Structure 1
Amino acid sequence: MKKYAPLTSYLQSQTADRITLSFKEITEILGAALPGSAVKHGVWWTNSPSSGRHNEAWLTAGWKTSNRNLKAQTIQFERIGISSQPKQQVRQAAPRSSFDPSMLTETDFAADCTVTLQLRWQRLGAVALVNHKLVFPEAPKQAGLYRLTVRLGNRTTVYVGEAVNLKRRFGNYRRPGNTQQTSLRLNALLIEAIGQGGAISVDIAYDNIGLSVGGKIVAADLADKAVRRMIEQAAIVAHGGVDVEMLNR
């Protein structure tokens, strides 16, 4: 691109293998201002070759960019094929240094991630104890989230979980297998709580879950375990502001 030809000429005239230029210096070399994307987004300085792009200004001259620092408004150029560290530094042990947040730069794919979640619990019913066996209220055979609230005296404990099949998960708690450690633990805890006069309520959420990513509303696919786990963890964190004990911890 003709606009960036002065930068090509400047790099071709250099004798050093590495140079660092400020954005202001590059503006003076070009005789024109850099676009806003060059100042705000590190990806503008990418070395990915593409015909007709501005980065041909340094790639065709045999240079590449490195050490982008948008905060300091500087960019380093180095000749293609040159090691990113001088040889004498490679042989030496890396010096100890403290973390400097001012040296952080944007990555080529620095997409922001804003997630908003709205979860509304629905009361399914209560857990009973019949002939020393737990009896759960009838649940749908669908993927979703569930919450067990145990009230015993002045103490309230909560367990939040996720399942690909809510009905089957409650069946596991009723008759846990020998290797199902979580189910065995909760089975014993629930039986003990009811035996001591406690009350256990069951809430579920399997539809009408509001989810938006980056400001765009998306379907909360509860068949996807990753989605269920994300919502489960959000629900656990949300209970952190309530005066209860989380059985998940």
Structure 2
Amino acid sequence: MSKYDPLREHLARLEDVVWAAKLDDVENILGSNLPKSAREHRTWWANSGGSLVHQNAWLDAGWRVERTDLNRDVVVFRRLRIGGTALAGSNGTARPRVREKGSDAERRLAKAMPALRQPVTVTLRAEWTTLGDLHKVPCSATNIPQGPGIVRAVSLREGEPSSLIFPAVSVQTCYSRLRKAMKEDGPEKDSSLLVSLGLNRTTPVECDAVKLGNAWLLTDGRGRKANFEDQTERNLVAQLLYLQELQAGRAAQLLAE
């Protein structure tokens, strides 16, 4: 990248035909000082191009230096377009026209923004698959999905249902870990898991899951199936299910995957 690319980009964005710039303005655009020769010699501002990187900056943008007044630290650029080409210099050598990417992109973006700022409704439709009583249904049960999904474990707290929501790479693995933690002879680390979840080994717990293919993300009535193979999307669905529990007035906790 050339030191003078910011000047080229600035000129390409301009819609004016003439730009009279103070040398300080040019330095502000470059983000660095001009060389001493730029303030002392008019030839530095010639339109020769070739291997002179600084001159190519304005020539490539379709501009040329029309005049300089170094006593006043002013340089005047003029856009030069003839027959769809930009002239490189006074000798009339044609240079390829450079598309004004900046201004064109800005106009297109401004045109697109009103539609993007319209109100939007994003909802989730999910179907729960019953896994059953955590104390009674074995991990090998045929209704326990092996693939990714969202697991919900529901227990009673102060007589009211309370939900734990788990996004899971494998529903079966998640269910298995919870079931092992419930066993009297389960590992100590699993006992710690129960404590962190606010459960104990005698707590009645019912489990269900949203399995792969049973969740749809809907935006303004148009929907698609949620991709549970993708961790980000799996976590998004878990968050929406968690919020739904809260909106229904139930206590809930969202667990990290």
Q: TM-score when scaled to structure 2?
A: 0.47
Which has more radius of gyration? 2
